[in-house]
Amino acid sequence: MTYTEPAQMLDLSAARPAFERLTAFVKAAGAAENASTDSSAATDSASAAGTVPGAGPQLIDPDETAAQIPPVLQPLVDEFAGIHLDDDFEVNLVIDERTDLGPYTLLGDTDEYYPLFETADEAIIVTIADNGNAGGVWYIDEELGLHLLATSLPAYLETVGNAIAAVGSDSGERVKMHLLSHAVSTVNVLNTVEDLDARVQFSEDGQQATIVKG
């Protein structure tokens, strides 16, 4: 993967209120857990480090080994690497490896997007333009349908915060469904693919997706 140095860096001033809000959710959930659970000293120590499996939302460690991070995202990663709710949802800016299989089957080159969440059947990505800029955030469902969740990464972080505020942080699936219910637009890819070599092409701002011949 070869990412271009962006012509326009991500606006941290726009993203900071959103990721500080997500950080506050994690701290509040941790405080509530500590207040309601009579745990051992060892568990208390692990919980303070944010390492207890299934202990509610946790911040993602920015020092985790990651695949090549697009330069446009690096300033954000330096301050906020993401939030993990459970196996059904997270915002992860330090994905540890990349693939072009599964939900990415009809996407273009892997340097045209960066995953924020992925399973074997679905993914959430932020688009990366040829000029290195970050664009819209899309959810790819099990049928390879594309759902525009937000027109920018800062807007997506704000939307995730709104979803957690609305449905809580104890179920990643509910958060994901809430995000989908507020999607900006949807592209039913399989219904429009006629050529087996066709692929999805995003507009430069990442807010539109079209099907082009391979």
pLDDT of residue 35: 72
91 token code pair: 């915002």
pLDDT of residue 51: 41
209 token code pair: 């997706």
pLDDT of residue 48: 46
pLDDT of residue 47: 47
pLDDT of residue 49: 41
pLDDT of residue 203: 95
pLDDT of residue 98: 87
Distance CA 183, CA 195 (A): 27
Residue by residue, pLDDT tens for the chain (214 residues) are 678 888 778 889 999 999 999 999 999 988 877 776 655 554 454 444 444 455 689 999 988 777 789 999 999 999 999 999 999 999 999 988 888 889 998 898 899 999 999 999 999 999 999 999 999 999 999 988 999 999 999 999 999 999 999 999 999 999 999 999 999 999 887 665 565 577 899 999 999 998 887 6
User: 47 near 39, Cβ under 8 Å?
Assistant: yes
Helix extents (H) in 37-171: 41-48, 74-79, 153-167
Q: Give the count of beta carbons closer than 10 Å to the beta carbon of residue 84.
A: 20
User: 83 near 60, Cβ under 8 Å?
Assistant: yes
Closest CA to 164 of 155, 174, 156, 154: 174
Q: What angle is formed at CA 77 by the lines to CA 71 and CA 78, rounded to 5 degrees? A: 100
